[in-house]
């Protein structure tokens, strides 16, 4: 009894001490911490990782998802425009797969509603992996994958099961525990005073009216160019954004607001990969999205803030295969 009470008192003291060190969480902010990943079947996640990294999904065995979304390179290829099978060039820049699960839709123009729907796209895209499903399924049928699908899904590989496995894996690709998230949770010392100043500027300039939520973006569609026109005329079809899907004139140049979680690690910038450095991207955002000239000093502080956004990316750069 006595011991129990002492134990309780000690636990209460510890809690108090932790609270004093950490401070209260910051609740009413436009950005929230990366959530915990949803529960997934670990065997399906492992299968999805293997498929993600396997060039077997491409027509000639030369390209995997990971060729363009290099997990050791923050989930991108570092190119302005992705290069797929046989050297074919994509018209747009490769976004990261990290935290993609948090986006309201996939692709720059949001044409896929879910990760499952997205995952099938590259396999049959002639500029990415150039395969046809019947060939992919035949290759999987004659490989150790058949047994893995049987074990996990109780049946043979199908396009849907491939997409589900890859999507399960992608849902684990979150980047939690960034310095900024620790700061949001109350750890005042997690970011520098300059980074905190940069965050204040990010809010006061109005960046957070579009880049917000857990992914610091990815939760709305907005026009690229409110004040003047940033894109060359006549535009490339890929510059038209959601117009390509809806055909609505108002959707011209409307894109999914990209996540800034890993922005410091993922140059070049914009859907067309046209801007090699972050300072220029921020200057253009000020000019075309906010109608303001942002002084260099403020841009530097905003970058200090963006530096605190990447979190733990180690979850899936290796480890055992199924
Ligand atoms: C040739 C390079 C290439 C390959 C291979 C490739 N991707 Fe992509 N990925 C891209 C490009 C480019 C985009 C953007 C396309 C667009 O928005 O129109 C993209 C977009 C995505 C997105 C959406 C991210 C977002 O924020 O909108 C996800 C998720 C994704 N790819 C996963 C995959 C998976 C899974 C595979 C394998 C089945 C794969 N990719 C294969 C280049 C590639
Ligand atoms: C009105 C909405 C809006 C506002 C305000 C806004 N942005 Fe953006 N931002 C976008 C959209 C849309 C894109 C995608 C443009 C494209 O590539 O076509 C984007 C792209 C970016 C990119 C490039 C990301 C990448 O991965 O390519 C950065 C960096 C960025 N914004 C930072 C900022 C900063 C910093 C501010 C404040 C100074 C800001 N944005 C204000 C909507 C906005």
Per-residue pLDDT tens over the stretch 47-89:
999 999 999 999 999 999 999 999 999 999 999 999 999 999 9
Virtual CA dihedral for 180, 184, 195, 272, nearest 10 degrees? 50
Share of the chain above pLDDT 90, in %: 84
Residue 93 Cα to ligand 1 middle (Å): 9
Give the mean pLDDT of the chain. Answer: 92
Q: Which atom of ligand 1 is nearest to the CA of 91?
A: 12
Atom of ligand 2 nearest to the CA of 272: 17
Using a 6 Å cutoff on CB, does residue 119 contact ligand 1? yes
For residues 268 and 275, is the Cβ–Cβ distance under 8 A?
yes
Provide the pLDDT confidence category of residue 318 given band limits of 50, 70 and 90: very low
pLDDT at 97 over 50: yes
Cβ atoms within 10 Å of 306's Cβ, excluding its own: 25
pLDDT at 14 over 70: no
The label of the residue with tokens 């409110």 reads: 226
pLDDT in tens, 174-198: 999 999 999 999 999 999 999 999 9
Q: How far is CA 216 from CA 180, 255, 266, 271, in A?
A: 11, 15, 14, 17
* Block residue for tokens 């530097």: 300
Mean pLDDT of 34-38: 93
CA angle 52, 53, 54 (to 5 degrees): 95
- Ligand 1 pocket member 97 (CB < 6 A): yes
- Residue 300's pLDDT is 98
Both tokens assigned to 74: 């923050």
**What per-residue confidence (pLDDT) applies to 1?**
42
Q: What pLDDT was estimated at residue 237?
A: 86
Q: Closest ligand to 289 CA? A: 2
Tokens encoding 145? 């994958």
Handedness of CA 39, 43, 48, 53 (dihedral sign): positive
Give the torsion sign (CA, 49, 105, 133, 123): negative
- pLDDT tens digits along 100-133: 999 999 999 999 999 999 999 999 999 999 999 9
Determine contact, residues 96/66, Cβ cutoff 8 Å: no
20-49 average pLDDT score: 91
């Amino acid at each position: 009894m006595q011991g129990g009470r002492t134990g309780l008192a000690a636990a209460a003291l510890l809690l108090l001490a932790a609270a004093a060190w950490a401070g209260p969480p910051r609740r009413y902010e436009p950005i929230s911490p990366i959530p915990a990943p949803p529960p997934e079947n670990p065997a399906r996640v492992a299968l999805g990782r293997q498929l993600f990294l396997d060039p077997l999904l491409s027509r000639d065995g030369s390209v995997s998802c990971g060729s363009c979304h290099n997990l050791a390179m923050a989930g991108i290829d570092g190119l302005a425009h992705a290069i797929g099978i046989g050297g074919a060039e994509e018209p747009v820049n490769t976004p990261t797969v990290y935290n993609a699960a948090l986006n309201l839709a996939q692709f720059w123009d949001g044409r896929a509603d879910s990760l499952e729907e997205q995952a099938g796209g590259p396999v049959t895209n002639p500029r990415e992996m150039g395969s046809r499903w019947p060939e992919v399924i035949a290759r999987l049928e004659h490989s150790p994958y058949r047994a893995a699908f049987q074990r996990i899904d109780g049946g043979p590989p199908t396009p849907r099961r491939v997409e589900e496995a890859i999507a399960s894996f992608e849902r684990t690709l979150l980047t939690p525990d960034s310095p900024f998230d620790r700061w949001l949770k109350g750890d005042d010392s997690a970011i520098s005073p300059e980074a905190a100043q940069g965050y204040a500027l990010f809010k006061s300039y109005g960046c957070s009216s579009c880049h917000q939520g857990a992914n610091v973006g990815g939760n709305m569609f907005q026009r690229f160019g409110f004040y003047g026109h940033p894109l060359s005329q006549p535009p490339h079809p890929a510059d038209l954004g959601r117009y390509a899907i809806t055909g609505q004139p108002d959707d011209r140049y409307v894109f999914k607001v990209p996540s800034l979680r890993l922005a410091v690690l993922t140059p070049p910038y914009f859907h067309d990969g046209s801007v090699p450095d972050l300072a220029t991207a921020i200057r253009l955002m000020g000019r075309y999205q906010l109608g303001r000239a942002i002084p260099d000093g403020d841009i530097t502080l905003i970058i200090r803030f963006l530096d605190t956004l990447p979190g733990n990316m180690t979850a899936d750069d290796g480890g055992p295969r199924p």
